[in-house]
Structure 1
Amino acid sequence: MLAASAMEIMRTIQTGFQYLALMQFTAYLIPPQANVQSGATYDYIIVGAGTSGSVIASQLTEDPHISVLLIEAGGDAPLESTMPAAVAFLKNSSYDWNYIAEPDLHSKQCHRRSSPEVILGKMLGGTSSLDYMVYSRGHPTDYDNWAKIVKDPTWNWENVLPYFKKSVKVDDENFLKSADSAKNYGSDGLIGLTIDNRDYVNNLLESCSEMGYDIVTDPESSIGYSKMLVSIGEGERHGSGIMFLKPAKDRKNLHVLKNTFVTKINFDDKRNAIGVEALTEDGKTLILKAKNEVVVAAGAINSAKLLMLSGIGPKKDLESRKIKVISDLPVGQNLQDHVSVMIPIAMETIAEQPVDPHVYLAPPVIGYVALDKSQKYPDYETVSFYAHARQLLYYCAYSYAFTYHICDDIYMLMHGQDEIGKMGLMTDIVHLNPKSRGEVKLKSLNPMEPPAIHVGYFSNEDDINDLVKYIQEFIPIVNTTFFRRIGAELVETTSGSCYDFEAGSDDYWRCYTTCVYTGLNDYSGTCAMGSVVDSKLRVYGVQKLRVADASIMPVITRGNTNAPVVMIGEKAADFIKEDYKTKYC
């Protein structure tokens, strides 16, 4: 089986990268392991050196009077995390938490595993060190909606935009010449953004225009199709861990504990968070103290788990496990994620030049589309990846985890009898505002045991019906002038699983959707503003405890969540500075 062989090759390469990790190629970029003794006291303890935790630590330690302990369950981000072309090798490695969700309502019959994989970064930079680097902020109306939910205008688009601008640098003069781009993007931040400007991208955009969609410069503020922004600078991934911790690596007031697992938040008898308990990789338990605050930035899954183990969560659930309830809150509920359906299109080559390894699968075009053309916000997103059939075989088997039989069929349909073979355009149709919700629960009192993750995909069937509409609106692209010229055709992906239904019918696409759907690992909402934390991210019912990661999103943003989490980290740092400014004046 071709796909099975591809998987063996992927695992062999992964093993090679593990040996390379022993060389510690990235160690010079980030703070070294701190020597911290049990009983040590800091002004702030930050749990999680991921997307937002790295930002907060970097921002707070700009003041030399503030001491910060940053605790990360994983270690340094490896060399392959900096290489865009190696993105696929990080999943299911030691840099991934390797969680598996509980069995879902819909069996994933097109995948090798019936339960969804939960891909989360376990290293400095967290998931920003292993995601696919698609840069998306969501739509401005998302943040206006947050502001209404929490009754605080500091979260509306006008007030979060400066934080987005602050963190990025776009080295593309033509892009910045656009009025919207100049208004919405910066050129002095730490995270570099790259745009794919090769000629064939324009051909794809022309096809989208032929279908009646607007072609826009800034994908964040307008509905339509555009060239994609990726968080790559000078050919390297720009994740939060390296980009924000590198400037802080020599600061004496920043201590970083790596490979250290926080097991509990400690409180005094007045419900003040006073520190944490943590377990080192050699089995030692540390009791660490925080004068001002504990900030939890471990991500939507692990932050919820830690709060519940510490006595903050649904009273009934905690009491059933004999956990002392500190604050009765709906922690772990409202779990949200985007869900997508992959549409493969086979075609003759559309580029004379080979795929640039710095742009990995060459994601040339992104679309934000509304079914109602008068609507101001998008319903779905399309993310297109262009590559040779051989390369797509690896992504089919490894990244999408489809069955080997399906991947072999896709490869043969794309490759055909031609020795050179065809190229493929794989497009993810992403539901941007799903109604389905999941939850995170404790499995036991053992902090080292993964939580029970119920992703809840398609728990609301409206999401299936919506995706069917989105697919049907997208697939006519194969009939546009350019796609006809290069012999484009849809590729059957389910290997006969949906043959009982008329091809192209609503029932066929419903079957297709529930067969090949994939979660995007944009987990959010488990410690939502308005129900678990206030608009300054402080946990209700206790003092000196803040949560600052994707878990605080009351509603998931319309787009990949990495950039919004950087913004959340920036805002959290400012909230903390504002609350304690008199102390250091």
Structure 2
Amino acid sequence: MYSAAVISKVKTVQLGLSYLAMLQFTAYLWPKQAIVEDGASFDYIVVGAGTAGSVIANRLTEDENVNVLLIEAGGDAPIEGVVPGCTLFAKRSRFDWNYTTENDEFTKKCHQKPYFEMTLGKMLGGTSSLNYMLYSRGHPTDYDNWADITKDPTWNWENVLPYFIKSERVEDADFIKSPDIVNHGINGLAGLTRDPHKYLKDMVKSFKEIGNDIINDPGSSLGYSLAFTYISSGRRQSSAISFLSPAKDRKNLHVLKNTLVTKVNFDENKNAVGVETILENDKTINIKASKEVIISAGVFNSAKLLLLSGIGPKADLESKNIDVITDLPVGKNLQDHTGVVILHAMEKSDPEPFNPNLMPGAPTMGFTALDKTQNFPDYETLTFSAHANGILYFCAFVYRLSYDICDNIYVGMMGRMGLFNEIVSLRPKSKGVVTLRSTNPMDPPVVTSGHLTDEADLDDLVKYVKDFVPIVNTTYFRSVGAEMIDPMSGGCSEFEKGSDEYWKCYTTCLFSGQSNYVGTCAMGSVVDSRLRVIGVQRLRVADASIMPVITKGNTMAPIIMIGEKVSDFIKEDSKNLS
């Protein structure tokens, strides 16, 4: 009853926002539409104006002698992509690719649909214009691992850290005064802030009572802290806002919007020489690149474009009558974080007011290892606060849990402040795959998520949940009358409450993929360590798809780092050729 009403309200708001988008209130922020004719030539073509593509376009056009064409399948980011509190409404709208996974008949049994709705931005800024703005670099060991896999030390932590520092602008006064600022930037293009509310600091202390350290710099080491978010002066810090908007008036930057790239064109020597595109008027044109084509279309679309262009597993391509240019395992290494939702209701709220809007309060963030002697985390905890209405919206529309479950949660939290905690496995073993649905470039790819296909991932999530649930007995949680909400109404009652079997039942019911997908064009197998596609020339991929192993945390900051780093690769390689 309550959940159905929520879905109806969301659709009504989305309709209203779609009319507002026609008024182009945000148009002043963005580059104007380029006019490009068939056969036009540019030095570089960047496919995708998303999280990485916007960074690359900015950095390459710093050289006034270089002409760059940035091609985006979507259009300008609307109000929902600028105002943080409107984030919820971009999902399943025309600004979302609206892709879904295949039915795995396992992890979605307590959800409205038998598949995952992957929320992926189709607009300037890409997914950075509709995600939840969480800042996380991952852990330093992630990048040392990448350096080992690629046999290239330029990817180790010491060598990627300067790129993180370069891109960011920390605006938290207390953090700037702390010793931790030495590893962060204050002059970059992307602003970062933290929620100052006292109740969040009290909540962080609770995690210390169950054996965790309290840290100031999230992700730098094991422990809990306030989270940084990509927000500055009340505005989302997407890649489009941070990197594309400041470059919008450069005469050497040309942005072609509402244009789908359908194929990379090659000459007889396997040099990428341009792209084939479908314009918004359905006209097909070919555009030339005199130096390089850089694909930054996202995990699914980058893989799809390579496959359509003849780069991928030979047998798969031949089965669809696509001429094979080079045989590579494109789409074969899909990874995502896996998680489970734990909910608490609190009898008393903090004296400081909570934001009653739909967008939950900024989270606390924790990185925890079961073995306290190791230096890297096993799981992450994200704890968000909201009133019952806000949690109902997220339950029914974002997580897409069943109406019965969401209604139970809402009733259990009426009149109380609620917390929902995402327990996120940071080292998933399961992998999925992305393949072509057909040779029609308008068709979405086939995405098999692979979530929990390795039984060890479910076992690990159970361990992490059991490690976390004692939080309800800590001083702060007791002081506000916190209790855990069981939204399944005894759905796992055949198992002893608190047993491994009970938590396995609970986890497979309230399971959630995190949509931090990576790996379909991984370094070491599809691209080399300078992100050049193996077996061809003048073609690179630069986005989350190149990650050989997923980072331990949200992937936006690492993708921006990749955009910064590949821009230097491109400049260096161009200089060496001249």
Short-chain TM bin: over 0.9
State the secondary structure of the residue aligned to 1:364.
Answer: strand
Corresponding residue for residue 514 of structure 1: 508
State the secondary structure of the residue aligned to 2:339.
Answer: strand
Tell me which stretches of 4 or more aligned residues in structure 1 moved more than 6 Å: none
Matching of residues 181-260 of structure 1 within 5 Å: 181-260=180-259
Superposition deviation, residue 493 in structure 1: 2.4
Superposition deviation, residue 210 in structure 1: 1.3
**What is the CA deviation profile of residues 273-316 of structure 1, one whole-angstrom value per residue up to 9, with x for unaligned ones?**
00000001211001000000000000111000000000000001
One-letter identity of the residue aligned with 1:134 = L
One-letter identity of the residue aligned with 1:288 = I
Q: Which deviates more, 541-550 or 204-213?
A: 204-213
Superposition deviation, residue 183 in structure 1: 2.0
State the secondary structure of the residue aligned to 1:363.
Answer: strand
Corresponding residue for residue 392 of structure 1: 391
State the secondary structure of the residue aligned to 2:52.
Answer: helix
Corresponding residue for residue 453 of structure 1: 447
Corresponding residue for residue 169 of structure 2: 169
Pick from 433, 443, 450: which aligns with 1:439?
Answer: 433
1:141 paired with 2:135, answer no
**What is the CA deviation profile of residues 118-175 of structure 1, one whole-angstrom value per residue up to 9, with x for unaligned ones?**
1111000000000001100100000000001001010000000000011111112321
Q: Judge conservation of contact 2:337–2:424 (CA < 8 Å) in 1.
A: yes
One-letter identity of the residue aligned with 1:211 = I
**What is the CA deviation profile of residues 466-511 of structure 1, one whole-angstrom value per residue up to 9, with x for unaligned ones?**
0000001101000111111211111012243322212111111101
Give aligned-pair identity as a percent: 59
Corresponding residue for residue 304 of structure 1: 303
Once residues 169 and 567 of structure 1 are traced to their aligned partners in structure 2, the CA distance between those partners, rounded to angstroms, is 14
Once residues 294 and 331 of structure 1 are traced to their aligned partners in structure 2, the CA distance between those partners, rounded to angstroms, is 17
**What is the CA deviation profile of residues 518-558 of structure 1, one whole-angstrom value per residue up to 9, with x for unaligned ones?**
11111100000000000000000000000000000000000
Once residues 316 and 460 of structure 1 are traced to their aligned partners in structure 2, the CA distance between those partners, rounded to angstroms, is 25
Corresponding residue for residue 51 of structure 1: 51
Corresponding residue for residue 72 of structure 1: 72
Once residues 286 and 235 of structure 2 are traced to their aligned partners in structure 1, the CA distance between those partners, rounded to angstroms, is 38
Once residues 364 and 252 of structure 1 are traced to their aligned partners in structure 2, the CA distance between those partners, rounded to angstroms, is 40
Q: Judge conservation of contact 2:80–2:130 (CA < 8 Å) in 1.
A: no
**What is the CA deviation profile of residues 308-335 of structure 1, one whole-angstrom value per residue up to 9, with x for unaligned ones?**
0000000010011111000000000010
Q: Judge conservation of contact 1:478–1:488 (CA < 8 Å) in 2.
A: yes
Matching of residues 289-438 of structure 1 within 5 Å: 289-356=288-355, 360-415=359-414, 421-438=415-432
Corresponding residue for residue 28 of structure 2: 28
Once residues 563 and 107 of structure 2 are traced to their aligned partners in structure 1, the CA distance between those partners, rounded to angstroms, is 36
Superposition deviation, residue 383 in structure 1: 0.4
One-letter identity of the residue aligned with 2:153 = P
State the secondary structure of the residue aligned to 1:456.
Answer: coil
Q: Which deviates more, 421-430 or 352-361?
A: 352-361
Once residues 482 and 165 of structure 2 are traced to their aligned partners in structure 1, the CA distance between those partners, rounded to angstroms, is 39
State the secondary structure of the residue aligned to 1:332.
Answer: coil
Q: Judge conservation of contact 1:105–1:456 (CA < 8 Å) in 2.
A: no
Corresponding residue for residue 6 of structure 1: 6
Q: 1:412 to 1:357 in 2, by over 3 A?
A: closer
Once residues 2 and 541 of structure 2 are traced to their aligned partners in structure 1, the CA distance between those partners, rounded to angstroms, is 45
State the secondary structure of the residue aligned to 2:361.
Answer: coil
Corresponding residue for residue 261 of structure 1: 260
TM-score of the aligned structures, taking structure 1 as reference length: 0.97
Once residues 356 and 567 of structure 2 are traced to their aligned partners in structure 1, the CA distance between those partners, rounded to angstroms, is 36
Superposition deviation, residue 66 in structure 1: 0.4
**What is the CA deviation profile of residues 37-63 of structure 1, one whole-angstrom value per residue up to 9, with x for unaligned ones?**
111000000100000000000100011
Pick from 537, 540, 545: which aligns with 2:539?
Answer: 545
> How many residue pairs align between the two structures?
578
Once residues 38 and 373 of structure 1 are traced to their aligned partners in structure 2, the CA distance between those partners, rounded to angstroms, is 60
1:117 paired with 2:117, answer yes
Once residues 156 and 55 of structure 1 are traced to their aligned partners in structure 2, the CA distance between those partners, rounded to angstroms, is 21
Stretches of structure 2 that go unaligned for 5 or more consecutive residues are none
Once residues 227 and 357 of structure 2 are traced to their aligned partners in structure 1, the CA distance between those partners, rounded to angstroms, is 14
Superposition deviation, residue 349 in structure 1: 3.4
Superposition deviation, residue 358 in structure 1: 9.2
Corresponding residue for residue 102 of structure 2: 102
Q: Judge conservation of contact 2:224–2:365 (CA < 8 Å) in 1.
A: yes
Q: Over the residues paired in the alignment, what is the CA RMSD in angstroms?
A: 1.2
Once residues 575 and 110 of structure 1 are traced to their aligned partners in structure 2, the CA distance between those partners, rounded to angstroms, is 46
Corresponding residue for residue 569 of structure 1: 563
TM-score of the aligned structures, taking structure 2 as reference length: 0.98
Corresponding residue for residue 484 of structure 1: 478
Q: Which deviates more, 320-329 or 22-31?
A: 22-31
One-letter identity of the residue aligned with 1:192 = G
Corresponding residue for residue 418 of structure 1: none
Stretches of structure 1 that go unaligned for 5 or more consecutive residues are 416-420
One-letter identity of the residue aligned with 2:197 = R
